[in-house]
Structure 1
Amino acid sequence: MAYPGRFAEQLIADRLDRVSLSFLADSLEIRRGGVAANIALGLARLGHSPVLVGAAGTDFAGYGEWLRAEGVDISAVHLSDTLHTARFVCTTDADQNQIATFYAGAMAEARRIGIPQVAARTGPFALVVVGPNDPEAMLRHTEECRHLGIPFAADPSQQLARLDREGARRLVDGARLLFTNEYEAALLTERTGWTENGILARTGTWIVTRGAEGVTLARAAREPLRLAAVPTRAATEPTGVGDAFRAGFLAGMLRGWPRARAARLGCALATVVLESVGPQEYALTADDLVRRIEDAYGPRAAREVGPALARMVRAPVGSVAG
């Protein structure tokens, strides 16, 4: 939903212990989403063959077929017999601030899914992204990856608020990649009780997204790599922007690109999604991505990715590739 005013104008500083507000929204749109599905779709559109692992409800059929047609393997999705698919109800104000409520629904059954069983059906994984999900499922999948020797990325996101110290440590320890935004980075040090250096000593690369300020990639005993964001032509709606960055970054990393090159692709895809309403409604072309990368990072950066993106970017469903 879109609220034309500003949330901040309705908040009274000395009354925040008793908030009772209603915002009259101008519009209501129901769109496909979900962190795992957003990332998987982005990877598919960039030429990969992602396997979506999660739990959905009996209302998932149409969405699932749409994802399958887009190139996402949905064979590992567990379907609940009784619960609806998770829903994120979000209101965005004129300053792009958001107030949201998340209904977990069938997500609670994700703990029934085993990575070994999925890998036995689909073949070995190059990487498992453990994103925000049922907390028990997140911890189970992390432990299974360690046991099987599968590289994994930890992306706790909103679920950091649900994890205690032991859970946060178990989720992060040994991750090849760790994704957070700025606020989550601070929360992660508080939750784990580890310093930033302590976290870096237990992970590979820690990627911190910073909105309009870009992204920082840190590794133990090395200078952090800082990249500016790709400028936006017209910011429209921020939902799914972080997922898009992850999809672009992972798409590059899985092809063996250097971290900086992969992060530039992530930033470009994030801006494409920022200019769209909904996390999956964007149109993607190689020429547009290359142009954005050149504008933000220069001709050399564009030349580094141009030929590869021409091969990677998947033609939209229903179109004919020339």
Structure 2
Amino acid sequence: MPVVVTGSIATDHLMTFPGLFTEQFVEGQMENVSLSFLVDDLVQHRGGAGANMAYGLGLLGLRPVLVGAVGSDFADYEAWLSRHGVDTGSVHRSELKHTARFVCTTDEANNQIASFYSGAMAEASQIELAPVVDRVGSADLVVVGPNDPTAMVRHTQECRGRGYPFAADPSQQLAWADGEMIRELVHGAEVLFSNEYEAALLLQKTGWSAEEVLDRVGCWVTTRAADGVLVRRAGEQPIEVIAVPETKPVEPTGGGDALRAGFIAGRAWGLSLERATQLGSAVATAAVEVIGTQEYDLPRQSFLARFAEAFGAEAADEVAQHLPG
């Protein structure tokens, strides 16, 4: 049975300006700013939390069903996802708006000028999950990832109402959501994902203690960057998993989405919480060693060798029974 992944689908357009933004500002004219920067580099990357997670699940041999909203400019991106094992048959196509887009220019001092166009993502709230589940037969898990806020609430409520097991991954949306919305997104989740900052923000805004959160979810997976991952369940000892050492860290963006993909795949394979978290840690490290959230690969032999080095031969043998390739 497939995993349904709901969340944002976007493209990143990253440019480099060979100078300093601050040198272009004219004192006394800040109320009339009109600037144009000649950039010397443009890189485009596929992104969006939902698509990133689906990509990772596809690499691991699952056939994830991606649910989100895009524009008429999605054709090339869709072909890429399809080639990597992602079912895009339930992606909503907007007739009016383009796919969400992040545009960022960085200068020599790493100052940035950026814009985010939500575009078609605003239509994600129109998507109903029942036809998606009916099309694919059933769903082991529905991941409610970062997306249009109204869509996130609707998907969560539908999961609870129809009895679909779901994972809550509010991530960056925690920054602006109020306590009531966060409680709505979290309550009843099989899995809750967060990083350390998001975990603290969740507790602050909901007014819950960590124990009260654990009473409302199956397990809580908290990423801690170089300190690895903490997994907690009510009434049980926490599980701590190390971060797989990086050989050439390049870009942390997308590491969290990759970890989620590995963890979800491991659980779908029937692995223990600890083993699934180890798998997530290994996939995350592969993701942060390249630029672009969907540019990493998982060559079977080298991935398993690295996994064995971090977690032991027995753990690697267990993962090898499920890893494609």
TM-score range, shorter chain: 0.7 to 0.9
Residue 37, structure 1, aligned to residue 51, structure 2 = yes
| Identity level (%) | 54
Tell me, in whole angstroms, the C-alpha distance in 2 between the residues paired with 1:105 and 1:67: 20
Please name the residue that 2:281 is paired with: 267
Please name the residue that 2:29 is paired with: none
Please name the residue that 2:302 is paired with: 288
Out of 69, 75, 89, which is 2:89 matched to? 75
- Shift of residue 198, structure 1, vs aligned partner: 0.8
After TM superposition, the structure 1 = structure 2 runs for residues 160-239 of structure 1, keeping only pairs within 5 Å, are 160-239=174-253
CA contact (8 A) 1:96 1:238 kept: no
Residues 192, 271 of structure 1: alpha-carbon distance in 2 compared, 3 angstrom cutoff: same
- Shift of residue 28, structure 1, vs aligned partner: 3.0
Specify the code of the residue in structure 2 equivalent to 1:237.
E
Tell me, in whole angstroms, the C-alpha distance in 1 between the residues paired with 2:115 and 2:308: 38
- Shift of residue 304, structure 1, vs aligned partner: 2.4
After TM superposition, the structure 1 = structure 2 runs for residues 108-147 of structure 1, keeping only pairs within 5 Å, are 108-147=122-161
Tell me, in whole angstroms, the C-alpha distance in 2 between the residues paired with 1:98 and 1:222: 44
Query: For each residue in 1:153-175, what CA deviation from the matched residue of structure 2 results, as whole angstroms up to 9, or x when unmatched?
Result: 00001111232111110100000
After superposition, the CA RMSD in angstroms is: 2.8
Secondary structure (helix, strand or coil) at the match of 1:186 reads helix
- Shift of residue 62, structure 1, vs aligned partner: 1.5
CA contact (8 A) 2:16 2:42 kept: no
CA contact (8 A) 1:265 1:289 kept: no
Residues 136, 96 of structure 1: alpha-carbon distance in 2 compared, 3 angstrom cutoff: same
- Shift of residue 303, structure 1, vs aligned partner: 2.5
Tell me, in whole angstroms, the C-alpha distance in 1 between the residues paired with 2:269 and 2:110: 34
Tell me, in whole angstroms, the C-alpha distance in 1 between the residues paired with 2:113 and 2:183: 28
Name the stretch that deviates more: 245-254 or 62-71: 62-71
- The normalised TM-score by structure 1 is 0.85
More strand by percentage: 2
Residues 117, 295 of structure 1: alpha-carbon distance in 2 compared, 3 angstrom cutoff: same
Tell me, in whole angstroms, the C-alpha distance in 2 between the residues paired with 1:104 and 1:39: 19
- The normalised TM-score by structure 2 is 0.84
- Shift of residue 123, structure 1, vs aligned partner: 1.5
Specify the code of the residue in structure 2 equivalent to 1:205.
C
Please name the residue that 1:105 is paired with: 119
- Structure 2, unaligned stretches of length 5 or more? 1-13, 19-32
- Structure 1, unaligned stretches of length 5 or more? 6-19, 314-322
Out of 241, 249, 261, which is 2:255 matched to? 241
